[in-house]
Amino acid sequence: MDLSEGPLAGTREDALEDGPEDGALSRGGVLEAFNDSAETRALLGRLQVEFKNRTFWESALQRFRVIMDKYQEQPHLLDPHLEWMMTLLLEIVQDETSPADLVHLAFKFLYIITKVRGYKTVLRLFPHEVADVQPVVNMFTNQNPKDHETWETRYMLLLWLSVTCLIPFDFSRLDGNLLTQPGQMRMSITDCILQIAQSYLVVSDKARDAAAVLVSKFVTRPDVKQKKMADFLDWSLCTLACSSFKTIEGVIAMDGMLQALAQIFKHGKREDCVPYAATVLRCLDHCRLSDSNHTLLRKLGVKLVQRLGLAFLKPRMAKWRYQRGCRSLATNLQVCTQSQREPQTHAETSDSEEGYNVPEEVESVTEQLLVGLKDKDTVVRWSAAKGIGRVAGRLPQELADDVVGSVLDCFSFQETDNAWHGGCLALAELGRRGLLLPLRLADGCLPRGLLFVLWVPGCQSWKPRVSFYTEEYGKGLRVVAVILKALTYEEKRGACSVGANVRDAACYVCWAFARAYEPQELKPFVAKISSALVIATVFDRNVNCRRAASAAFQENVGRQGTFPHGIDILTTADYFAVGNRANCFLVISMFIAGFPEYTQPMIDHLLTMKINHWDGVIRELSVKALHNLVQRAPEYSAAQVFPRLLLMTRSPDLHTRHGSVLACAEVAHSLCRLAMQEDRPIADYLDETVVQGLKQIHQQLYDRQLYRGLGGELMRQAVCVLIENLSLSKMPFRGDTVIDGWQWLINDTLRNLHLISSHSRQQIKEAAVSALAALCSEYYTEEPGEVDSIGQEGLIEQYLAELQSPEEMTRCGFSLALGALPGFLLRGRLQRVLAGLSSVTRISPKDVSFAESRRDALKAIARVCQTVGARAEGSPNQVVCRENASQVYCTLLDCLSDYTTDSRGDVGAWVREAAMTSLMDLTLLLGRDQPELIEAPICQRVMCCLAQQASEKIDHFRAHAAHVFMTLLYSAVPNVPHREELEKLFPRSEVVSVNWTAPSQAFPCITQLLGLPTYRYHVLLGLTVSVGGLTESTVRYSTQSLFAHMKGIQNDPKALESFSGTLLQVFEDNLLNYRVSVPLLKMLDQMLANGCFDIFTTEEDHPFCVKLLALCKAEISKSKDVQKLRSSIAVFCGMAQFPGSVRRKVLLQLLLLLCHPFPVIRKTTASQVYEMVLTYSDVVGTHVLEQVMAVLSGTAWDAELPLVRGQRNHLCDLLGVPRPQLVPKDWTWRDGR
Residue 460 pLDDT level (bands cut at 50, 70, 90)? very low
Three-state helix/strand/coil letters over 1181-1192: CCCCHHHHHHHH
Query: Does 819 score more than 80 pLDDT?
Result: yes
Residue 188 and residue 1223: Cα distance in Å, rounded?
101
Q: Is pLDDT at 989 greater than 80 in this prediction?
A: yes
CA distance 550 to 653: 32
**What pLDDT was estimated at residue 714?**
94
Contact present, 1012 and 943 (Cβ < 8 Å): no
pLDDT of residue 346: 45
- pLDDT grade for 47, boundaries at 50, 70 and 90: confident
DSSP classification of residue 683: G
Question: What is the pLDDT, as a whole number, of residue 356?
Answer: 67
Please check the confidence at residue 870 and state whether its pLDDT lies above 60.
yes
Single-letter amino acid, residue 1169: V
| Residues with Cβ within 8 Å of residue 29, at least 6 apart in sequence | 74
525-548, pLDDT tens digit by residue? 999 999 999 999 999 999 999 999
195 alpha carbon, distance to own chain's centre:
50
Mean pLDDT of the chain: 87
pTM score, two decimals? Answer: 0.82
User: Phi, psi (5° rounding) for residue 905?
Assistant: 110, -145
* pLDDT at residue 331, rounded to an integer: 55
Q: Pick from 550, 542, 549: which is nearest to 500 by CA?
A: 542
**Element (DSSP H or E) covering residue 799:** helix 789-802
Q: 142 pLDDT band (50/70/90 cuts)?
A: confident
Q: How far apart are CA 832 and CA 793, in angstroms?
A: 11
Average pLDDT over residues 1061-1075: 93
The SS3 call for residue 1031 is coil
3-class secondary structure, 905: strand
Instruction: Note the pLDDT of residue 1224.
Output: 61
What's 563's DSSP letter? S
Q: Is 1105 helix (H, G, I), strand (E, B) or coil?
A: helix
Count CA atoms closer than 13 A to 857's CA, side-chain side: 30
1035 in Cβ contact with 1027 (< 8 Å): yes
* Residue of 833, 892, 829, 835 whose CA lies nearest to 858: 892
Top pLDDT among 7 and 1203 is at 1203
Q: Which of 993, 982, 992, 888 is nearest to 943 (CA)?
A: 982
What element of type H or E holds 185? Answer: strand 184-185
Cα→Cα distances 537→417, 489, 513, Å: 21, 14, 18
Nearest CA to 369 out of 427, 426, 291, 437 is that of 426
In angstroms, the Cα distances linking 402 to 312, 317, 395, 833 are 18, 18, 10, 79
Task: Kindly state the average pLDDT of the residues 17-32.
Answer: 46
According to the model, what pLDDT value does residue 1185 have? 87
> Rounded to an integer, what distance in angstroms lies between the CA atom of residue 610 and that of residue 536?
12
| Residue 1218 pLDDT greater than 90, yes or no | no
Whether the predicted pLDDT of 26 surpasses 80: no
Contacts of 880 (CB under 8 A, 6+ apart): 865, 868, 869, 870, 871, 874, 888, 922, 925, 926, 930, 933
Looking at the chain, the whole-number percentage of residues with pLDDT higher than 70 is 89
Measured distance CA(1211)–CA(429) in Å, rounded: 91
pLDDT, tens only, 609-645: 999 999 999 999 999 999 999 999 999 999 999 999 9
Residue 466's pLDDT band, with cuts at 50, 70 and 90, is very low
Q: What is the pLDDT of residue 785?
A: 41
Low-confidence winner among 404-418, 516-530, 1213-1227 (lowest mean pLDDT): 1213-1227
Can you say whether the dihedral through the CA atoms of 148, 154, 156, 162 is positive or negative? negative
Give the DSSP letter string of 327-373.
Answer: --HHHHT-HHHHHHPPPPP---S-SSGGG----THHHHHHHHHHHHT
Rounded to 10 degrees, the C-alpha dihedral 1016/1021/1027/1032 comes to -120
Query: In this prediction, what percent of the chain has a pLDDT beyond 90?
Result: 66
SS3 180: strand
- Summarised one tens digit per residue, pLDDT across range 805-817 is 999 999 999 999 9
pLDDT for the residue 770: 96
Q: Please name the residue ranges forming H helices in 649-736.
A: 654-677, 688-703, 712-728
**Per-residue pLDDT tens over the stretch 562-573:** 999 999 999 999
Instruction: Give residue 461's pLDDT.
Output: 37
Contact 18, 9 (CB under 8 A): no
What pLDDT band is residue 683 in, cutting at 50, 70 and 90?
Answer: confident
The Cα 781–Cα 773 span in angstroms is: 12
Q: Is the pLDDT of residue 38 over 80?
A: yes
Please choose, from the candidates 701, 681, 783, the residue with its C-alpha nearest in 3D space to the C-alpha of residue 734: 783
Section 582-607 average pLDDT: 95
- Residue 505: exposure state from Cβ atoms within 10 A (0-12, 13-18, ≥19): buried
**269: DSSP letter:** -
> How far is CA 484 from its chain centroid?
30
DSSP designation for 637: I
Nearest to 202 by CA among 190, 215, 189: 215
